[in-house]
Structure 1
Amino acid sequence: MKLAIVPLLLLTAACSTPPAGRSAKRLIAQTYNSGFAEAHDSYNAMGAASDGRIYYVLSAEKPRVGGRMYSFNPVNQKIEFLGDLTEVAGEKGRNAIVQGKSHVNFVEADGALYFATHIGYYSIIDGMEKMGVPPEGMQPYPGGHLLAFDMKTRKFTDFGVAPEKEGILTMNMDARRRRIYGLTWPTGYFFRYDIPRREWKNLGRVAGGGENGKGTDYQTICRSIAIDPRDGAAYFSDSTGNIRRYRYNDDSLSLVPGDNLRKDYFGQYDPHSAGHMGYNWRQTFWHAPSNAIYG
């Protein structure tokens, strides 16, 4: 089965003066306040669903303030608060570092939105973000959760905690085969979760020591997993530019032979230094007409 992996270069046209006699078109943005004063930002965790609403998670960066999920209805322009991530993960009152964010795209399947949680509270050690050191009297971060939100009942389902109690940095789902794939932070374990069987499998480290490593053991972790819906294979990169493939049929990982992401037009990177993504891809998507992954 052939698969193309295509680098996608996005070009932005420079603004120019409109021709004489033609007025410039304008887009006017309108802001909506979710009412979450301690919100920090959002990464990936926003998407339009089949019910016409926009769903999103606002992150928080304090040890006791969890991220929160909302929906926005474009018809009546109302925002609905759906839940605190720490509470829906069953950790309210645990006195542990909270579920501070979601770092992944929502995947819709069977009327539900599947996603994952991540730590939002960090400690800067040797100039790098590390797992937040718990303030006195608090427990360490208990690990990211896989969750689903039912858009009809407005209720959450918790599928459990990531391998090694790490945060879930990257996630995608094969909706046809009902299998979730993810990468953890800071070490970079690749896992899969089979929804019908409620079964986790940790396939091990895929980025050296990950973002917790030192020296040549340090590698940034891939932020996007692409899925080929034809055979259920999942693809992701590492900071050295290698592309890895998970095979659904035999539940295994291997390197993709014959190609990599070490391209001159991407620049040159030290894959073992912090502050950049190395040769990792940052975002990917499957394009069915061309049987290709664009990234």
Structure 2
Amino acid sequence: MPHTPKFYPFSDVPVSDSCWSLSTGPDGRIYIAVCSEGLGGVSVYIARYNDELDRLDYLVDASKETNDPPDSGRATQCKIHYCFCPSRHDGILYAATHLSGPALGDFLYSPWADWNDPRKAFRGSALMALDTKTDTVLWWDTIAPREGARCMALDEQRGKLYCITYPRDHFVVYDIKTRSRRDLGRIGAINSQIVFTDRKGRAYTSSDMGQLVRYDPDRDRLEEIPAYLPCEPYQSRWHSVFYDAVASPEGDCIYGVTWREHMHLFRYWPEEGEFGRVEDFGPVTQERDHSYPADTFSDHAGGLVFGADGMLYFVHSRWPEKSSFPTPEGAVGVVCQVNPQTMEKMDFAYLKEEGRPSQYVSRAGRDRFGNLYFGHVGGTPSGMFRLPMDNPSGRSDLHEPLRTWG
């Protein structure tokens, strides 16, 4: 294929095992979360792709910026999980940390078992305001005490951040001006992997059963609405929650995929009628023998992003045809191009890196020159893929419109 991705390992953090956040910044450059969720005593870093020198620059050590040392004996500030939110008007990139990394010397961390442990309990998700013009963290605050932030969205007009916590799955509204938080209560037991906003500033996520949950800031109301995410006929709706979603360039609809095996691609029109309308475009990964179990690491889709050409791109796993069930062994990540007018799909590129699985992409972004980037999970060190695109030369504004959720 003419479009060949290049892999950039997180070489400065060789123990890193995942990239759970990748986002276009307000400056049109790509920001990446360098995560280490499996090894104790390691901090998450925020890196940026240097498009002049073709390298990664490491900007922020979250443990230092938030005064939570990785050798403190507590669960660590180990990752940023779908919680990058860029702000156009002031050049700030908001980022909130998540939990799972154990304390230094420990094998694992259980937020349930260690909830009341004064020594080991996670301190809480740290919300940081990174000034992308000076590369400094202007301030930080705790957005979720004792919990991690699973996903986050920014309402720039109202100056609010919307966050889903883990493990309790609460919906939190954070006021940036007053730096205060309000917990609106629990949604369920399974975290949706995204919260997004529509053109009216309403925020959306999903319940355990794939039902859409909407927060209306004008009414200050969090409510379940009669709209559901799709799944296969043989499946119950349980766990058919949002995984990733991106707005159309016009902002009138949302394209997304679900978080379960044999995930579906769908389109949601939030402004149609009182509750919006969901269109189902079916499963995106290959057919398989359903008598074998499958997991969402091997059977996966994510990294939705629109190109400067107006086409939708996302990555889904493809395992060897000889395998009876999905497996990372020999699997590749297929960059799929979708025409939003016809919904026709085609293979556009393949993510491959010698010696590691490449089928799991968490998030994607488009830089100021129109090139695409995909955050990768799996192997050490983990990293990202960069996919050069055929774009108009001489322009550096091709990152717009900007995605303002993680």
TM-score using structure 1 length: 0.74
Aligned-partner Cα distance in 2 for 1:255–1:178: 24
Cα distance, 1:284–1:94 mapped onto 2, change above 3 Å: same
Determine which of 18, 25, 34 is the counterpart of 1:49.
25
Cα deviation digits, residues 219-269 of structure 1 (max 9, x gap): x11011110132x21011012121111110132211113x222x3547513
Percent of paired sites with the same residue: 24
CA distance in 2, matches of 1:137, 1:143: 13
SS of match in other structure, 1:131: coil
Task: Tell me if the contact between 1:227 and 1:286 (Cα under 8 Å) persists in the aligned partners.
Answer: no
Q: In the alignment, does 2:154 pair up with 1:173?
A: yes
Could you tell me which runs of 5 or more consecutive residues in structure 2 were left unpaired when the two chains were aligned.
257-406
Aligned AA (1:283): D
- Tell me by how many angstroms 1:50 deviates: 4.3
* CA distance, structure 2, for counterparts of residue 266 and residue 158 of structure 1: 48
- Letter paired with 1:268: Q
Alignment match, 2:182:
201
Deviation at 1:155, TM superposition (A): 1.0
Match of 2:217 in 1: 248
CA distance in 2, matches of 1:137, 1:120: 17
- Is the partner of 1:144 in helix, strand or coil? strand
**Residue of structure 2 equivalent to 1:239:** 208
- 1:98 corresponds in structure 2 to 76
Q: Which of the pair is proportionally richer in helix?
A: 1
Report the CA distance shift for 1:33/1:228 in structure 2 as closer, same or farther (over 3 A): closer
Matches within 5 A, 1:1-295: 25=2, 27=4, 29-43=6-20, 45-60=21-36, 61-92=38-69, 94-109=72-87, 110-121=90-101, 130-131=110-111, 138-207=119-188, 210=189, 220-230=190-200, 232-257=201-226, 259-261=227-229, 263-265=230-232, 268-269=235-236, 271=238, 278-287=239-248, 289=250, 291-295=252-256
Distance 2:110 2:131 in 1: 33
Q: Show CA shifts across 1:159-186 (max 9, x none).
A: 4223342010111111222110011111
Query: Per chain length, whose mean CA-contact separation is higher, i.e. which structure has more relative contact order (CA < 8 Å, sep 6+)?
Result: 2
Q: Report the CA distance between 1:280 and its aligned residue.
A: 0.6
**AA in 2 matched with 1:260:** Y
User: What are the Cα deviations for residues 11-38 of structure 1, in whole angstroms up to 9, with x where unaligned?
Assistant: xxxxxxxxxxxxx535152535531122
Q: Which protein has the bigger strand share?
A: 2
The 1:267–1:234 alpha-carbon spacing in structure 2 relative to 1, beyond 3 Å, is: farther
Shift of residue 290, structure 1, vs aligned partner = 6.3
Query: Which whole-Å CA distance do the structure 1 matches of 2:223 and 2:255 have between them?
Result: 20
Q: What is the alpha-carbon distance in structure 1 between the residues aligned to residue 119 and residue 16 of structure 2?
A: 21
Computed over aligned residues only, the root mean square deviation of the Cα atoms, in angstroms, reads: 2.7
TM-score, length-normalised on structure 2? 0.55
Identify the residue that residue 8 of structure 1 maps to in structure 2: none
Instruction: Summarize the Cα distance change of 1:132–1:244 in structure 2 as closer, same or farther, 3 Å threshold.
Output: closer
- 8 Å contact from structure 2 (residues 172, 182) kept in 1: yes
Partner AA of 1:98 in structure 2? T
Give the total of aligned pairs. 246
Shift of the 120–54 alpha-carbon distance from structure 1 to 2, 3 Å rule, reads same
Q: Quick one: which amino acid aligns to residue 248 of structure 1? A: P
Q: Is the 8 A contact 2:148 2:166 kept in 1?
A: yes
